Chains A and B, each alone.
Chain A
């Protein structure tokens, strides 16, 4: 039903180790390299952000757990490059292929980096799906937290918040639906809301009765309550 990346609320992870003041952004040189290669490859335009997130989530539970953060990035990138037909398995094995790559005209050049990064990629889109809920309205999330379009597919409803009753806090407008966009099924924009849940709605033993958790949830993740 869920994948290993969906870890909100999980027990057993131990203490958090805050970093020291002035700790380096990239503790190892290859961390920065992994980030940069991943971003640069993204500019080839062969996938969207939802496809690339899903590629990391689809690492086997064993790999997801044992890989460090940027190992997940670089390994998922290699998988994606092959799946999307940019590279072949022979390329990854190091077998030379002669001739220019058909996508080489799209390569991100050094002088274009600043503009490309500052341009961003907004996720809001016009949509003809009517806004169904208003601020203050009670809603309930669907249960189970699964992609309804593709079995085992990408979704952004965490398991810990499935089947829970909350209240609409903000209406964010209409945004690309990851459950569709991660699978090449179109952007399918629909209303997106910030929904607030009492901690006692989510956890058996909340730390404080006043505490709350807010999630950004698409309209199709919600039912009237």
Chain B
């Protein structure tokens, strides 16, 4: 282990400046150095990319939401302590060690941001989209959530309070959107297809059945 850093290192000739400036080449250069020293295994990198590209994504969160819409006991347990409940469905891991689910109601709409970086519930939603990590979303979501929602095509009645969750710790928030009207006859699988990623971040609403 290296020495504890008691002071922030604010030296102005940062080591990264020694790597090629073009980002794709910068990544390649660092990967090559680490691979040559045996510190990264390129096959492990492929595996990590495959995991977040193809295996873990918003389809996981959608299953949780659809189950909560159809199973009152599951929903009660989910809102009380989500982490073990979603772990039982197989959704646990990096950036999802402490999950809290917050429920939208006619009186309150929830929306999630990370103003300081890009914290996001990976095991349930995968890697965050570009806009979630953008300066504009990080800066504006806490101060003017209704204008932000309008840019996503969502207009809330003024009677609905907006509660924005700024993910400043290791707690990861998932929004439980309201079940759309006209879905009484749909089963869990059909409901899952209505749950969008953005509806679980709180910047969107679920699809309505066609």
Contact = CB atoms under 8 A, between A and B. Distances in A.
Contact of B145 (A28, A44, A211): A211
A131 to B, nearest CB: 15
Chain B interface bracket (under 10, 10 to 19, 20 to 34, 35 or more)? 35 or more
Contacts of B113: 8
Interface stretch (B60-68, B94-102, B184-192): B94-102
B3 A184 contact: yes
Given A210-B161, A216-B171, 7 more contacts: A8-B139, A30-B24, A36-B48, A46-B1, A75-B14, A183-B5, A207-B147
A148 to B, nearest CB: 14
Nearest to B164: A213
Interface string B153-197: 000001111111111111100000000000000000000000000
Contacts of B166: 8, 158, 161, 213-216
5 contacts: A10-B140, A39-B48, A107-B40, A119-B94, A156-B169
A167 interface: no
A11 to B, nearest CB: 8
B71 interface: no
Nearest to B114: A8
B208 interface: no
Interface string B131-154: 101111111101111111001100
Chain A interface bracket (under 10, 10 to 19, 20 to 34, 35 or more)? 35 or more
Nearest to A184: B4
B41 A108 contact: yes
B89 interface: no
**Closest A-B pairs by Cβ, 5 of them:** A184-B4, A8-B115, A216-B169, A210-B161, A104-B38
A129 to B, nearest CB: 15
Contacts of B96: 120
A8 B34 contact: no
A118 B92 contact: yes
Contacts of B3: 184
A96 B32 CA distance: 11
A142 interface: no
A32 B168 contact: no
Given A79-B15, A107-B39, A158 B168 contact: yes
Nearest to A105: B38
Nearest to A58: B8
A63 B13 CA distance: 12
Interface string A190-225: 001010100000110001101111111110000000
Given A101-B39, A104-B37, A18 B136 contact: no
Nearest to B152: A18
B44 A108 contact: yes
B51 to A, nearest CB: 6
Given A108-B40, A113-B47, A207-B147, A37 B34 contact: yes
B49 interface: yes
